[in-house]
Amino acid sequence: MKSRFAFLALAALCSAGCALMLAAQNASAQYPSKPVRIVVPFPPGGGVDIVARAVGEKLGPRIGQSVVIENKPGAGTTIGGDAVAKSAPDGYTLLLGPIGSQAIVLLTYKNIPYDVRRDFAPITRIARGTIVLVVSPGSRANSVKELVALAKAKPGHLTFASSGTGALIHLSGEMFKQAAGIDMTHVPYKGSTQILPDLLDGRIDMALDSLPAYLPHIKSGKVRALAVASTRRSPLMPDLPTIAEAGVAGVVAETDYALYAPAGTAKEIIGLLNREMQAVLQMPDLQAKLAAQGIEISASTPEALRAELLDEYAKWEKVVRAANLKLE
């Protein structure tokens, strides 16, 4: 009798498990059946937002559903990241953000409510972008060497802006400080569009930030660009040196854009989104639109994106330790 009850209990469990599996498979087969939301952990107008809106516009028709961009800035990208990490793993809420920033928040935030290595399923890298060193129009620095000299003459006097404490742009500034052997005061903002008014008016001395938001102001002469943090010069500004060429070696940082889903999202959904994104990223008009912003298409497999995240973690760990940076 006991064995019969045990058999019936086991059969019930198997039946429930099979039902859940079938439900998940059916949901995957019907995906997407409603609009897809892409969360951007920055304010509108910056590089990540520009990429998200450009990609979303093309992805929607491919998957037969509208793609809604939702900006959730703040706390070094953790507000937006946490919202996605806690979302249902059904493919309807995605995160588009920098690869480096996802690694950095693990190092800088003491009580971060999620771990990107555990709580996200990589879909694809999207593109790489340029980080440019810009100064206010009234700055006495016309080159990186002159900027370094000014900073050394008055330690802690010059200010550098970022899109949030502990985020990629902040750590890029810390990397520059360490490589140049200078001391500057960090001033955090929520995003590039908030930095610009203070930089234009000279209330902030410099920023190492994503190129797109600054490009029109660089071209108009309202902001002065001194160098790029890439390993090579930007095709948009071929006369502008890299920071290494300008005399400060060891400063290599770039904006990198990638798409993630919550962990537990079905492999079929991840595979579908990766395939559709690959098709989107091959569209010449999208490539041209992003190239005009200094953003270069660079797709990947989910596995390659996961490996790159781990590499970024190792890279920025050195910078964070040297800066002795730890946030609550």
Weakly modelled stretches of the chain, pLDDT under 50: 2, 16-17, 19-24
Which pLDDT belongs to residue 27?
A: 58
Which pLDDT belongs to residue 3?
A: 54
Which pLDDT belongs to residue 21?
A: 45
Under DSSP, the state recorded for 69 is E
- From CA 281, how far away is CA 289, in angstroms rounded? 11
Q: Which residues sit opposite 259 in a β-bridge?
A: 96, 124
- From CA 21, how far away is CA 13, in angstroms rounded? 12
Per DSSP, the residues of 110-158 read TT-S--HHHHEEEEEEEEEEEEEEEE-TT-S-SSHHHHHHHHHHSTTTS
Which pLDDT belongs to residue 83?
A: 97
| Topology classification of domain 35-128+255-323 | D-Maltodextrin-Binding Protein; domain 2 (3.40.190)
Under DSSP, the state recorded for 109 is B
CATH number for the domain whose boundaries are 130-228: 3.40.190.10
Token pair in block for residue 220: 């108009």
Give first-to-last CA distance, the chain, whole Å.
58
Q: Which residues sit opposite 124 in a β-bridge?
A: 259
> Which amino acid is residue 256, in one-letter code?
D
- From CA 86, how far away is CA 114, in angstroms rounded? 9
Which pLDDT belongs to residue 31?
A: 98
Domain boundaries along the sequence of the chain = 35-128+255-323, 130-228
- From CA 188, how far away is CA 176, in angstroms rounded? 16
